[in-house]
Structure 1
Amino acid sequence: MLRQTSSHQGKRTIEYLLGLLTLLTSMVAATIGFGGGMLLITVFPSFLSPNLIIPVYGVVQLASNVSRMLFSLKYVQWVLLPKFLVGSIIGTLSIGYGLSYIPIDYIPLAIGIYILLNLWSSRFSIFVSRYESYYLIGFLQTGLGLVVGATGPLALNVLTKQLKSKDSIIATSSLFMTISHLAKIPVYLTVTASLLTDLNLIIYMIIGAVLGSFLGTRLRLRSNNERMIQIIKVLLSLFAVKMIVQGII
C-alpha cells in the first residue's frame, strides 16, 4: 500500500505522519465545513501507490464526514434529507450509467462560476432560487461526485444561503457529503482487498479523522456565528476562483 520505504521503522513513521495529517485536515473541515479533504489528498501521492489514492481517500473522508455529523447531530436539518437522498439516488444511477458520455473538463469551471454568482450576486441568487431544490443539489453533488472530486461545496453553498446557524450548515453539509461518499462504495470495493494489506495505516487515519472532527467541532461551537458564516463564504469564493482558473487553463 505504502510506497517503498527503507525499513519497518520508516513505514511506521509514515503511518503516524498520515494519521496526524488526517487529524489536522479533519479538524479544518469540522471547523469551516470543507477543505480538509482537498488538503489531505494533495500529500497522498508522496506516500501511497497511485491506484490506492482514491479508495484510501474515500475511506478517510467517510470517517471524517460521519464523525463530523455525529458530533453535531442535534444541528442536522433532517427535514432536508429525503429530497437530497432522492436526488442522489437518481444522480448516481443516471450519471453513473452515462459516465463515458459525460464531458467533464468544464464541470469544475461551471461549478466555480455558479458558486461565485450565487454567493455574491443577489440578482442571480434570486433568479436561480426558483430552480434550486435539494433534489437537484443531491443529483448534481452525488452524481457528478462520481467523476469530479470537488462537488461538496454545491450543497454547502445553498445551505449557507438558506440556514442561519453555522452549526446547522456544517452538520447538514456533513450528512449530505456522507451520502455522496457512500455512493462511491462500488468504486472502492474494486480495490478493497488491497486496502486490507495495511490495516495499521487505515486505523491510524480513521482515528485521526474522528479526533480531528471532535476537536474541530469544539472550536466551531465556540466561534462567532456571523463571523464563521462570512469566513465560509470567503473560503468558498476562493475555492470557486481556483476551480475557474483550473478550468480555463
Structure 2
Amino acid sequence: MDELTLGFISFCTSVITGVIGIGGGLLLIAILPSFLPLNALIPIHGLNQITSNLSRAYFGYKDIQFQVIPKFLVGSFIGVGIFMYFLKTISLTYIPLLIGVYILLSLWSRNFNTKIMKYESYYVIGFFQTGVSVIVGTTGQLAMTKLLKEFKDKNKVVATSAILMSITHILKITVFIYFGFVFYDYLSIVTNMVVGSILGSYVGTKLRNKLDSKKLIFILKIFLSVLAVKNIISIG
C-alpha cells in the first residue's frame, strides 16, 4: 500500500512543479520521512526527482535555454565533490531536522532568501545547489531565482530549471551509489514513484497556463510549513 501511496504523492508533487516550476521536490522530501527509513530519504527522493525533472524537461524541450548548462555543470561537479565530505560527518538522525529548518527558512525568511539570491553566477549556483542538495535533498530555488531574472517566459524558466535540477540529482545519486546505497532494495517503491512523477510532469505541463499559480503557491507554503515542523518535532 505504501508503494501506491508514494506513487500518488509523487504524481501530485510532480504536477505542482510542472505548474509552478518549483515546490514539488520540497513537498516530497518533507513527506518522505513518514514512509522511508532515514538512510533512504535523500537517495530515493533524488532518484525520483531525476525522473520528474527529466520528463518535465522533455515535455518542454523547445524552451530549454542550453547556454546556461555548461557553467552550472562545472559548479555542480565542484560542489558535489566538496559537500560529499560533509555527508560522512552528519548523523542520519538529524537529516529530518536539517530538512525541516531549511524548508522553513526558504519559505518565510526574507533575510535567508536575500542571502542565497546573491549567488548570481551559474558557476556558484551549481556549486551550492548541487552540493547542498547532497545533505538536505533539494535546493531548486537557487537556480530558479536566477532564471526568473533572465527569462520572462514562464515555460523557459520551468524547462531550464528542470534540466539544471536533473544535473543536480544525477550527481547527488552518484554520491549515494558511491557510498553503497542499494536502490534495488526499494525497487517497488521507486517504480511506483517514477511512474507517478512522469505522469505528473505531463499533467503539470498541460495545466501550467490554466491554473492560478499564486493561490497554489500560498497553499503549498502552508502545507510545507506544517510538514517541516513535523520533521523538526520528530527529532525529539
For normalisation by structure 2, the TM-score amounts to 0.75
Distance 1:234 1:176, change over 3 A: farther
Counterpart of 2:34 in structure 1 is 46
1:86, distance to aligned residue in structure 2 (A)? 1.2
Matches within 5 A, 1:95-244: 95-97=83-85, 108=102, 112-113=109-110, 116-117=113-114, 132-189=120-177, 190-193=179-182, 195-222=183-210, 228=213
1:192, distance to aligned residue in structure 2 (A)? 4.0
Residue type of the alignment partner of 2:124: L
Counterpart of 1:68 in structure 2 is 56
Residue type of the alignment partner of 1:79: Q
Structure possessing the higher radius of gyration over alpha carbons: 1
- Identify the structure with the greater helix proportion: 2
Q: Which structure 1 segments of 5+ residues have no match?
A: 1-12, 120-124
Residue type of the alignment partner of 1:54: I
1:64, distance to aligned residue in structure 2 (A)? 0.7
Contact 2:47 2:170 in 1 (8 A): no
For normalisation by structure 1, the TM-score amounts to 0.72
Give deviations 1:75-124, integer Å, cap 9, x for gaps.
1100111111111112222333466799xx7x9498654664489xxxxx
Distance 1:188 1:98, change over 3 A: closer
Counterpart of 1:26 in structure 2 is 14
Give deviations 1:198-239, integer Å, cap 9, x for gaps.
42221111000000000001111446xxx75x6799799989
Partner Cα separation in structure 1 for residue 51 and residue 220 of structure 2: 23
Residues paired across the two proteins, number: 217
Counterpart of 1:122 in structure 2 is none
Contact 2:17 2:24 in 1 (8 A): yes
Contact 1:63 1:210 in 2 (8 A): yes
Contact 2:25 2:138 in 1 (8 A): no
Partner Cα separation in structure 2 for residue 48 and residue 99 of structure 1: 19
Residue type of the alignment partner of 1:207: V
Give deviations 1:163-183, integer Å, cap 9, x for gaps.
101111111111111111112
